[in-house]
Amino acid sequence: MVFNIEPHERKIFELISKAATELGFPAYVVGGYVRDRLLARPSKDMDIVCVGSGIDLARAVAGRLRPIPRVTVFKRFGTAMLKHRDMEIEFVGARKESYRSDSRKPTVEEGTLEEDQNRRDFTINALAVSLNEHDYGSIIDPFNGLEHLEAKLIKTPLEPGKTFSDDPLRMMRAIRFSTQLGFTIDPETLSAIEQYHSRISIVSKERITTELNKIILTDKPSIGFKHLFDTGLLQKFFPEMAALQGVEVRNGKAHKDNFYHTLEVLDNLCVKTDKLWLRWSAILHDIAKPPTKRFHPQHGWTFHGHEALGASMVPRIFKKLRLPLDHKMKYVQKLVRLHLRPISLTKENITDSAIRRLLFEAGDDIDDLMQLCEADITSKNPKKVKRYLENYEMVRERLQEVEEKDHLRNWQPPISGETIMETFGIAPSREVGIIKNAIREAILDGDVSNNYDEAYQFMLNKGAELGLTVANQ
């Protein structure tokens, strides 16, 4: 296994080595940067540990770089950070940590390199490369991290129960690294996650969700979600998703397992897109199936209205997981609400009106919606899959035809509320809303063309029906 670094990074190491020697601080590059370079993966973050003041070393290194970068100091944590070219370099003094049972915030003391490596989460993250003159470039590997990199194994350096009890976020990180790197979690380490999963409750939702999003952004997130479910972690912080799991059989009729179906949809979508919020729409598209599940002796299992209820659940889930409550949430909500609509358009003799309405409601997100719908095909029958995909292709063609003709994507009716009020000399009122809605519906139904003149005439007729007269006549 070769430690490959870029020439400009080699120069940074040489500068750090010289600055550390002058200060008398033994220095090492540690953690994720070492792991990623040994795996020939790109890395933009570099962690430097020194036996001394990380802040002093950062300032000394900054003075040797050109242009001189700004050093950001975090005195409370004894760390400092600077940016050089495309690298973010963090400096910290070697430390040892001790934890109370009710907190994941450790008591930190100065320590040796060995004590600093002991506190690392996994053996593959405890690797260090010396930047010191007497053994420059040598790899310090007290926990067989190199062997575990070769074996593609996630394992804690110390007893896993203590590692996870001290800092329960490490359980999420174990699953995240396993999913990102395609590594196996050591059986003893995995067993400890199952045993200590309830400790995740002392970790902030923000930190949990940061790790969850990293899992979602991997090539195959289902690996991570299965680990989260099997260890009990998912049930603790995302019970709505865990509730999708399971199959109920009644009168010989069963429904599919909506948890594993959701993971298939997510993986299908990940082949086509790396958009985080589109991936979230896959996770949440069937989230309301458990509360809407009903059994009918003639029809079997139904989930009527799960798309509408699911859309209404999105804000609550986003708030609980500390996800952004802005346009990103509204985007996911929209796709959850509309995810069944294209299916209904695959039937024959669908009117232009139905196509117009979908274009109007989906707007610029119509292409993402169609991607979600295509990912939602999880049948194991190749003939069915082929037929569904052909149907969706037909819908795409109809959408394009209607869009080219009517230009309804992100459309606003040609008559505004202000025009209605000025025309009839009225203030904001119920009548204004009635006329606006009637114009919109008439255009979407194809009864009125999408242009100002026809819409204006329709407005006059509708106003007359409501007993309104044109002002100044």
How large a percentage of the chain has pLDDT more than 70? 95
Confidence of residue 6 (pLDDT cuts 50, 70, 90): confident
How large a percentage of the chain has pLDDT more than 90? 76
Give per-residue pLDDT as tens, 324-338. 999 999 999 999 999
For residues 66 and 118, state if they share a domain. Answer: yes
Say whether pLDDT at 407 is over 90: no
Within 10 angstroms of residue 68's Cβ, the number of other Cβ atoms is: 11
Say whether pLDDT at 51 is over 70: yes
What gap in Å lies between CA 342 and CA 281, rounded to an integer? 15
In a domain, 354, yes or no: no
Query: What does the pLDDT read at residue 351?
Result: 82
Say whether pLDDT at 98 is over 80: no
Say whether pLDDT at 137 is over 60: yes
Q: Cis omega before residue 42 (within 30°)?
A: no
Domain membership of residue 424 as a residue range: 417-465
Residues with Cβ within 8 Å of residue 323, at least 6 apart in sequence: 209, 280, 317, 329
Mean pLDDT of 128-142: 95
**CATH code of 105's domain:** 3.30.460.10
For residues 47 and 102, state if they share a domain. Answer: yes
Query: What does the pLDDT read at residue 77?
Result: 84
For residues 32 and 167, state if they share a domain. Answer: no
Say whether pLDDT at 286 is over 90: yes
What gap in Å lies between CA 341 and CA 360, rounded to an integer? 12
What gap in Å lies between CA 143 and CA 156, rounded to an integer? 9
For residues 131 and 162, state if they share a domain. Answer: no
Q: Which of 128, 151, 174 is the last residue of a domain?
A: 151
Structure tokens at 153: 């194994």
For residues 11 and 143, state if they share a domain. Answer: yes
Residues with Cβ within 8 Å of residue 410, at least 6 apart in sequence: 363, 364
SS3 287: coil
Mean pLDDT of 407-434: 88
Mean pLDDT of 424-443: 93
SS3 438: helix
Query: What does the pLDDT read at residue 450?
Result: 84
The number of folded domains in the chain is: 3
Query: What does the pLDDT read at residue 144?
Result: 97
Say whether pLDDT at 109 is over 80: no
DSSP string, 188-236: HHHHHHHHHGGGGGGS-HHHHHHHHHHHHTSS-THHHHHHHHHHTHHHH
Query: What does the pLDDT read at residue 455?
Result: 93
Residues with Cβ within 8 Å of residue 143, at least 6 apart in sequence: 117, 123, 126, 155, 157
For residues 18 and 49, state if they share a domain. Answer: yes
Picking from 157, 237, 166, 154, the residue whose alpha carbon sits closest to that of residue 196 is 166
What are the CA-CA distances from residue 363 to residues 71, 355, 360, 403 (Å)?
A: 45, 12, 6, 10
Of residues 111 and 247, more confidently modeled: 247
Mean pLDDT of 394-413: 80
Say whether pLDDT at 226 is over 80: yes
Of residues 99 and 167, more confidently modeled: 167
For residues 42 and 144, state if they share a domain. Answer: yes
Confidence of residue 413 (pLDDT cuts 50, 70, 90): confident
For residues 30 and 115, state if they share a domain. Answer: yes
For residues 128 and 165, state if they share a domain. Answer: no
For residues 136 and 191, state if they share a domain. Answer: no
Say whether pLDDT at 100 is over 70: no
Of residues 222 and 395, more confidently modeled: 222
Phi then psi for 282, rounded to 5 degrees? Answer: -65, -40
Mean pLDDT of 119-134: 95
Q: Which of 110, 134, 151 is the last residue of a domain?
A: 151
Q: What pTM was computed for the model?
A: 0.88
Confidence of residue 410 (pLDDT cuts 50, 70, 90): low
